[in-house]
């Protein structure tokens, strides 16, 4: 269905975001880097150097939440997109859209948090821009970060390298970031507060690469969550993926909150979790490397890549029932990042 | 004076923008690339390759204006910031913040315009992101672009290279972009409509570099206009600059509109004009190279760098009266880029 107007769902990371990319941005900007459909572009600069380049605007609401804030998110999100290209994150830009009337103290707190996150991820914020819009034309602060990283290993990491038989390893429990935001936004109080999983993923990726794992693809589980990440990779790689539901860790507070609100944790955003694809024979080695270096929760091999049908992600439940995961068609959680 | 809240003037490119950089962003993000206080960061990647990296968010209002639109501006503005680092513009990212309810046709028109501007500037848009915010939390569309360019010449172009005795060459008439926006926004009708000067500056920079000009500094004349660009360079270079007012070209429509609205054309934004600093002995050669390649209007050597006082820009009027140019303290034209 063609939409005459932008809806919140166009920014949700699901079917309408994909349509926007395929019908509006793709045809206008077409080039090989965009076609790769990955978290960032891989660029060949002179002298055989390869860079990754990526961008993300953050419009999260509220600005501050358990486990982070918009500043930490703006740095960590872009750092993680670079890591997912197999690139060592190195430099960030920061572009601010401030709403008239924003308390200076809020900006200072956000900026300090960006500086802390940059230090933690070992990147530098080297260039920036600030715009101010009138009251009612923004929402406190929006932050765009773009990032550059170096790719040191020779291979290409991305959906095109995924092969039938590859293992799918998941680095931790899912659903925390989205539910932390939602609980904060809706004023929900749970017995144990849900804390965002916002954390840099490069140390985990570096460990895989240094450990000799033949990493085929990496994807962080942001907007649209684990399900959307797997569907996008299955579509780009023209493979099927079969996941064992019981192996996917979801903490009790997240599971409870999802049930209460009628949400599926497989579609809830994370900011410090990824899936890694590698030859099945290396899955155990990859798991133990990730268990020592990934930011949190159990590291588990949750499934396998199959020959097909292309683009189909199948979830086998605890009871042995299989169901096919669909892209989100509407908007599950607006402004979670 | 310390401000407890963000005001529109914090985004105007004048004194308050500078305060924000010096008091909030600078101390938090401190690193050598930021300290250079130039349009973009110069980065050393492996194998001796040098890159320029820059970012700009565009919030121009209205979205469409004579001579351009937010899409053309978002591409051209970043391309020009790279060119001002002496870098060949190569790759852009694009981050959209769309307001719920934006007509799809408007987005498509803006995106086509970005694609056209990218083709004209010979750059590729290689990575992107889209966020959607609720009605009343944005204003149609805001666009961030970050850009990467290659630096091919060995020297460093920037305020630190400026020397007393350098000539200051201006590439065309000033004030068009800001007045085109303002006329459109306020519904002013002039005899001859004022058209934005929005255009890429790299061909002009490339001609200077290929022509053997020892380019010390380049600066495009965006927010804050010619006056602010010169003041910033004089401060960073710890030099004085003396400008001959009569040599600065302002078209009749721009002059008339500025008089009508009580604005000083020296502070009005441009999007396709720059100043270039080089040894005085090369000024004639630089002028003739720019006259063939810069986007519009007469190319003139408008003044000289002096020993001091550091940071002082002096304007000698047609009548021989000298006055010192000040930074804008308030907001002259909000949301002109």
pLDDT per position as a tens digit, A305-320: 998 799 999 999 989 8
Contact between residue A139 and residue B133 where contact means Cβ atoms under 8 Å apart: yes
Rounded to whole angstroms, the Cα distance separating B121 from A28 reads: 15
pLDDT band at A1 (very low <50, low <70, confident <90, very high): low
What's the whole-number mean pLDDT along residues B15-32? 90
Could you read off the pLDDT of A131-164 as tens digits, one per residue?
Answer: 999 999 999 999 999 999 999 988 889 999 999 9
- pLDDT at position B156: 87
CB contact set of A178 (below 8 Å; sequence gap of 6+):
A225, A263, A268, A269, A270, A332, A333, A336
Rounded to whole angstroms, the Cα distance separating A273 from A256 reads: 20
Beta bridge pairs of residue B92:
B125, B147
Contact between residue B144 and residue B58 where contact means Cβ atoms under 8 Å apart: yes
Could you read off the pLDDT of A242-267 as tens digits, one per residue?
Answer: 999 999 999 999 999 999 889 999 99
* Residue whose token pair is 């660029």: A43
Question: B8-151 has which CATH code?
Answer: 3.30.1330.10
pLDDT band at B155 (very low <50, low <70, confident <90, very high): confident
What's the whole-number mean pLDDT along residues A214-220? 97
Q: Do B125 and A4 touch (CB under 8 A)?
A: no
- Residue from B57, B100, B109, B334 to probe the interface with A (highest A Cβ count within 10 Å): B57
Q: In the predicted model, what is the mean pLDDT of chain A?
A: 93
What's the whole-number mean pLDDT along residues B202-225? 97
Range in A130-139, B180-189, B326-335 the model is least confident about = B326-335
Q: What percent of chain B is modeled with pLDDT above 90?
A: 79
Could you read off the pLDDT of B191-211 as tens digits, one per residue?
Answer: 778 999 999 999 999 999 999
Residue B91 has a CB neighbour count (10 Å cut-off) of 25
- pLDDT at position A331: 65
What distance in Å separates residue B70's CA from the closest CA in chain A? 14
Given a cut of 90, whether residue B48 has pLDDT beyond it is no
- pLDDT at position A151: 93
Q: Do B95 and A34 touch (CB under 8 A)?
A: no
What distance in Å separates residue A185's CA from the closest CA in chain B? 15
What's the whole-number mean pLDDT along residues B45-57? 91
**Chain region(s) in chain B for CATH 3.30.1330.10:** 8-151
- pLDDT at position A297: 83
List C-alpha distances in Å: B187 to A178, B65, B190, B256, B331: 45, 11, 10, 15, 20
What's the whole-number mean pLDDT along residues A98-113? 97
Q: How far apart are the first and last CA of chain A?
A: 26
Homologous superfamily of the A159-324 domain (CATH)? PurM-like C-terminal domain (3.90.650.10)
Given a cut of 70, whether residue A100 has pLDDT beyond it is yes
Beta pairing class for A124-133 and A87-99: parallel
List C-alpha distances in Å: A163 to A216, A251, A303, A310, A316: 8, 31, 13, 12, 20
Q: Do B148 and A102 touch (CB under 8 A)?
A: no
Rounded to whole angstroms, the Cα distance separating B189 from B312 reads: 37
**Chain region(s) in chain A for CATH 3.90.650.10:** 159-324
DSSP designation for B194: P
What's the whole-number mean pLDDT along residues A290-310? 94
DSSP designation for A12: T
Question: A31-151 has which CATH code?
Answer: 3.30.1330.10
pLDDT band at B331 (very low <50, low <70, confident <90, very high): low
Q: Do A132 and B56 touch (CB under 8 A)?
A: no
Which residue from A minimizes the CA distance to B40?
A127
What's the whole-number mean pLDDT along residues B61-77? 97
């Amino acid at each position: 269905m063609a939409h005459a107007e932008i809806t919140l769902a166009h920014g949700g990371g699901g079917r309408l975001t994909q349509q926007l990319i395929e019908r509006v941005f793709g045809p206008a900007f077409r080039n090989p880097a965009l076609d790769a459909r990955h978290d960032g572009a891989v660029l060949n600069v002179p002298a055989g150097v390869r860079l990754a380049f990526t961008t993300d605007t953050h419009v999260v609401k509220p600005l501050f939440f358990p486990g982070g804030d918009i500043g930490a998110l703006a740095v960590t999100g872009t750092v993680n997109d670079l890591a997912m290209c197999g690139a060592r994150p190195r430099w960030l830009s920061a572009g601010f859209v401030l709403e008239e009337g924003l308390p200076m103290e809020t900006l200072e707190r956000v900026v300090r948090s960006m500086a802390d996150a940059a230090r933690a991820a070992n990147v530098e914020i080297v260039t920036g821009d600030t715009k101010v819009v009138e009251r009612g034309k923004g929402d406190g602060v929006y932050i765009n970060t773009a990032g550059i990283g170096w790719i040191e290993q020779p291979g290409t990491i991305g959906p095109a390298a995924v092969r039938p038989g590859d293992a799918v390893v998941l680095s931790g429990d899912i659903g925390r970031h989205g539910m932390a935001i939602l609980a904060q936004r809706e004023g929900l109080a749970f017995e144990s507060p849900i804390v965002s999983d916002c954390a840099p993923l490069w140390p985990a990726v570096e460990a895989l690469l240094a450990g000799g794992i033949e990493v085929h693809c990496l994807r962080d589980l942001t907007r649209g969550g684990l399900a959307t990440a797997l569907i996008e990779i299955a579509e780009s790689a023209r493979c099927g993926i079969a996941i064992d539901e019981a192996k996917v860790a979801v903490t009790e507070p997240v599971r409870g909150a999802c049930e209460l609100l009628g949400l599926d944790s497989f579609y809830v955003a994370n900011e410090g979790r990824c899936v890694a694809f590698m030859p099945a024979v290396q899955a155990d080695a990859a798991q133990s490397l990730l268990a020592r270096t990934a930011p949190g929760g159990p590291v588990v091999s949750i499934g396998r890549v199959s020959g097909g049908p292309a683009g189909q992600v199948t979830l086998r439940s605890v009871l042995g029932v299989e169901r096919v995961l669909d892209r989100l068609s509407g908007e599950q959680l607006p402004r979670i990042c």
